[in-house]
Amino acid sequence: MYRCLFIAVFFASTLTLPADSQSGPKDAVVLIIRHAEDADSGDGISPLGERRAEAYKNYFLNFAVDSKRLEPDVVLAAKDSKKSHRPRLTVEPFAKAAKLKIDTRFGNYQSDELAADLRANQRGKVILISWRHGNIPALLRALGANPASLLPRGKWPDPVFDWVIMLSYDQHGRLIPASTRRINEHLMPGDSQ
């Protein structure tokens, strides 16, 4: 019996981060969105996507959760690729209105590098990230979150453009489960309820 208990405790300890482990930026909130709707061709966003990007301007200038204002201080977008400039185009209207520069240093497959940079440089900030939906689960893992607890079957569904994933971190950079959630935006006609 003691052997089974020891094995169970040992196995569980390998699945969790140590109590002093930092998974995200200290005293920070990370907001992750998927880029706006794709254009029928090219690397841009559709007319509906342009309306969503424009709506993000007021949405994030006035963003609040549980009556707490969380206007982003920092804006990041996945690096432009040959096929897509959508993450950057999605947050440009907000960034311009908020007078913030968009950081596009990190590409689709650089979630670990992005997370390390946030941990090192963004203490106490509200951080908005526009990313490509297929790569959001890896970004969540890099930031210490379990994609399966925030997304259906751990994946961002192809037809969904209207969610914000909010990750909140304590003074040690540990994820605060009670303040981590998926939010429906309700920005555009047809958005999920």
pLDDT at 13: 36
Contact 17, 175 (CB under 8 A): no
What confidence tier does 69 reach under pLDDT thresholds 50, 70, 90?
very high
The three-state secondary structure class of 55 is helix
| Mean pLDDT, range 88-94, rounded to an integer | 98
Task: Determine the angle formed by the axes of helices 47-61 and 86-98, rounding to 10 degrees.
Answer: 40
Lowest mean pLDDT segment, chosen from 3-12, 16-25, 171-180: 3-12
pLDDT at 192 over 80: no
Alpha carbons 17 and 179: distance in angstroms, whole number: 18
Domains of the chain, each with CATH number or no CATH: 22-184 (3.40.50.1240)
Tell me the two tokens of residue 70: 């969380």
- Read off the pLDDT of residues 17-52 as tens digits, 9 standing for 90 and up: 444 467 899 999 999 999 999 999 888 999 999 999
> To 5 degrees, how large is the angle CA 103–CA 94–CA 97?
105
Beta-strand ranges (E) seen in the chain are 29-34, 64-65, 68-69, 74-77, 102-103, 126-131, 163-168, 181-184
pLDDT at 193: 61
